[in-house]
Amino acid sequence: MILSGEEWQAVRLSLDVATRSVLVSLIPAVAVAWALARGRFPGRVLLDALVHLPLVVPPVVVGWGLLMLFGIRGPIGAPLYEWFGIRLVFTTGGAALATAVMSFPLIVRAVRLGLENVDPGLEAAAASLGAGPLDRFLSVTLPLMSPGILAGAVTAFAAGLGEFGAVITFASNIPGETQTLPLAIYSATQTPGGEAVAGRLALISFTLAMSGLLLAEWIARRMHLLLGRG
Amino acid sequence: MLEVGLRHRYGRAGFAIDAGFTAPEAGVTAIFGPSGCGKSTILAAVAGLLRPDAGRVALAGKPLLDTALSVFIPPERRRFAMVFQEARLFPHLSVATNLRYGLRRAPPEATGPGFEEVVALLGLGDLLTRRPSRLSGGERQRVALGRALLARPRLLLMDEPLAALDAARRAEVLPFLARLRDAAAIPILYVTHALDEVDALADQLVLLAEGRVLAAGPVEALAARTDLPLAARRDAGALLSCRIAAHDAERGLTRLDFPGGQFAVPLRAEPIGSQARIRLRARDVAVATEPPRGISTQNVLAAQLVSVDAATASPEVFLQLALGPSIILARVTRDSIARLGLRPGLSVWAVIKAVTFDHAMPPPPPPPP
């Protein structure tokens, strides 16, 4: 299958945005999953709801909310721009942020599932053997929850390749900058005679997503074997 | 000395614990009681895995927990390695790495047996490269024992380490536990609800019921008392520390010396000179006022009747008999008391069949190569 330069650009941009979004959200997702699974603090239920909001709110609303917060005049966007010269609206970084927010609940859910599979008794044993809290987390909890983290990352990556509503609202549809695969498909469908392009891109989108999900499954199985849960 | 004093309540009207005891600097102190009496809670509080409502835990005078002084040393800084009912080996690490987990975190000045020594002691040589999922239950528990010992702890905590194993696996691990006790120059706090483990391992006993300490002291002393729940058990009886004096293979007998006399028992496996603790069940001891003749019983020993526990209304009565400095228990009917005119101070004969002696301790495992 031969793709034009512009089509390739959309594929590369999609991979770029999805990668960045996963990198941005991974550590906060582990922290939030930890707080939700093990934490006992007021507002835990509220945090849980907040994290899952992007699953139920229309993506356009999420994009709009980001525009309000991170826009040049937004409460976060203004200082970012004035102090650091960072502008997120209408940029690849902005597309990655919108994608990260949308896929955040997916990562948190997978990480939390992985964490809940870790027996707290093992951490107690590690403590009695002289391991402090950070040591316990790094030597026992993290390796044992890593299948969840990896599964979450790959799922979020696959989903991130196809994020549409939040990206187009917050980052707009700029070829080479924010026009990811789904946005390129959308543009193609709006262009007379663009059916062939849309079809090719849709096939690529489908292939990438499927590969991602299969990869996640395969990694999870290998990890469980490695961790002695075969 | 380990000092423990705790008050804790689960929930507002839940199960309450109010218990205190001390344990000597060396040897095994068993915390014994029925399920749900608070044994494991006490152990978790000593380990630092549970913060009790109030209390104090101190080793050699240094507090690790003192709610009055707001002292709480976290578990990782107490150096009280714990062995749990389930082995709790780290599934992602090999046996060797599991064993070294505590060793790598022990302070450099801590002393204790080395890696090779512990591997030999517990027979782990063939298991080192395996993952915990490829071990049997008994092997797992042996690795857990080694891992705890290698952490170079100041105190070993054992929370029913044999309770999750079937009878065959228990018999496999128990001798290793006895070995570990002899190799570890540190005190061991051992929680159990199995009396045979107390008999085989413990020096001191803390008797617990419904969150309270009923009695505490040397195991032999508590076993000879008739006022404790121990006496209500079918296997109630005195514990005697014996030394294997001689084997008579031809007659199939082993002679055991104990303070105050000698027993003949069926041939045993232990080498001459080794120690064996014998539980002499009260219901297996008969009393005669004249030396019996023409009787198959091997052991007819002169004894002094110390007390007749006639306080209870039960048709069965405990007698305490002194054999030299040792006290044994006999359980007879109230009718026998009257028939023989038994009263404290009387000289009697204790009649004990050789075959009634329990093997309190299974034969030791083959020595490491």
Chain A: closest CA distance from residue B60 (Å): 19
Chain B: closest CA distance from residue A139 (Å): 9
For residue B368, being part of any structural domain is answered with: no
CA-CA distance, B223 to B201, in Å (whole number)?
14
Do B53 and B134 sit in the same domain of this protein?
yes
pLDDT of res. B84? 95
Do B215 and B339 sit in the same domain of this protein?
no
B46 interface with A at CB cutoff 8 Å = no
Q: Do B101 and A139 touch (CB under 8 A)?
A: yes
**Number of Cβ within a 10 Å radius of residue B287:** 20
Q: Do B133 and A229 touch (CB under 8 A)?
A: yes
The dihedral of CA A82, A85, A91, A93: what is its sign?
negative
Chain B: closest CA distance from residue A146 (Å): 11
- Residue among B59, B135, B70 at smallest CA distance from B96: B135
For residue B58, being part of any structural domain is answered with: yes
B96 interface with A at CB cutoff 8 Å = no
Do B308 and B350 sit in the same domain of this protein?
yes
- B chain contacts of residue A131, beta-carbon cutoff 8 Å: 76, 101, 105
Q: How many CA atoms lie within 13 A of B28 on its CB side?
A: 24
- Residue among A92, A100, A118 at smallest CA distance from A37: A118
B133 interface with A at CB cutoff 8 Å = yes
Domain at B21, CATH number: 3.40.50.300
Test mutation, A118, A119, A129, chain B, max B CBs within 10 A: A129
Do B132 and B281 sit in the same domain of this protein?
no
Cβ neighbours for B49, distance < 8 A, ≥ 6 positions apart:
A124, A127, A128, B75, B82
For residue B229, being part of any structural domain is answered with: no
CA-CA distance, A100 to A89, in Å (whole number)?
14
Do B160 and B84 sit in the same domain of this protein?
yes
Test mutation, B78, B82, B88, B156, chain A, max A CBs within 10 A: B88
For residue B348, being part of any structural domain is answered with: yes
Tell me the residues of A at the B interface, defined by beta carbons under 8 Å apart: 119, 121-122, 124-132, 135-136, 139-140, 143-144, 226-230
Task: Tally the domains of chain B.
Answer: 2
For residue B232, being part of any structural domain is answered with: no
- B chain contacts of residue A227, beta-carbon cutoff 8 Å: 91-92
Do B42 and B150 sit in the same domain of this protein?
yes
Test mutation, B46, B101, B104, chain A, max A CBs within 10 A: B101
pLDDT of res. B363? 46
Instruction: Please say whether the beta carbons of B18 and B37 come within 8 A.
Output: no
Do B214 and B296 sit in the same domain of this protein?
no
- Give the mean pLDDT of chain B: 88
Q: Do B92 and A144 touch (CB under 8 A)?
A: yes
Test mutation, B40, B73, B92, B135, chain A, max A CBs within 10 A: B92
For residue B109, being part of any structural domain is answered with: yes
Pick A128's closest partner by Cβ from B80, B86, B132: B80
Do B218 and B75 sit in the same domain of this protein?
yes
Test mutation, A122, A128, A146, chain B, max B CBs within 10 A: A128
Do B268 and B209 sit in the same domain of this protein?
no
- B chain contacts of residue A128, beta-carbon cutoff 8 Å: 47-49, 75-76, 78, 80-82, 148, 151, 157
For residue B361, being part of any structural domain is answered with: no
CA-CA distance, A19 to A202, in Å (whole number)?
20
- A chain contacts of residue B76, beta-carbon cutoff 8 Å: 127-132, 135-136
What are the structure tokens assigned to A121, written together?
């008794």
Instruction: Please say whether the beta carbons of B103 and B85 come within 8 A.
Output: no
Do B266 and B210 sit in the same domain of this protein?
no
- For B71-109, the pLDDT digits (tens) are 999 999 999 999 999 999 999 999 999 999 999 999 988
pLDDT of res. B358? 63
CA-CA distance, B323 to B286, in Å (whole number)?
14
pLDDT of res. A35? 92
CA-CA distance, A145 to A114, in Å (whole number)?
5
pLDDT of res. A230? 46
Looking at domain A5-226, which CATH architecture does it have? Orthogonal Bundle (1.10)
What are the structure tokens assigned to B214, written together?
């009923």
Q: Do A131 and B105 touch (CB under 8 A)?
A: yes
CA-CA distance, B28 to B14, in Å (whole number)?
31
Closest-CA residue of chain A to B101: A129
Range of the structural domain that residue B300 is part of: 237-356
Mean pLDDT within B196-214: 90
pLDDT of res. B59? 92
Pick A227's closest partner by Cβ from B75, B91, B147: B91
pLDDT of res. B369? 46
What are the sequence ranges of the domains in chain A? Answer: 5-226
Closest-CA residue of chain B to A226: B92
Do B213 and B319 sit in the same domain of this protein?
no
SS3 letters across chain A = CCCCHHHHHHHHHHHHHHHHHHHHHHHHHHHHHHHHHHCCCCCHHHHHHHHHHHHHCCHHHHHHHHHHHHCCCCCCHHHHHHHHCCCCCCCHHHHHHHHHHHHHHHHHHHHHHHHHCCCHHHHHHHHHCCCCHHHHHHHHHHHHHHHHHHHHHHHHHHHHCCCCHHHHHHCCCCCCCCCCHHHHHHHHHHCCCCHHHHHHHHHHHHHHHHHHHHHHHHHHHHHHHHCCCC
Do B19 and B116 sit in the same domain of this protein?
yes
pLDDT at B311 over 80: no
Closest-CA residue of chain A to B47: A128
Domain at B279, CATH number: 2.40.50.100
Residues of chain A with pLDDT under 70: 1, 228-230
For residue A10, CA distances in Å to A13, A153, B59 come to 5, 21, 68
pLDDT of res. B364? 47
- B chain contacts of residue A122, beta-carbon cutoff 8 Å: 88, 90
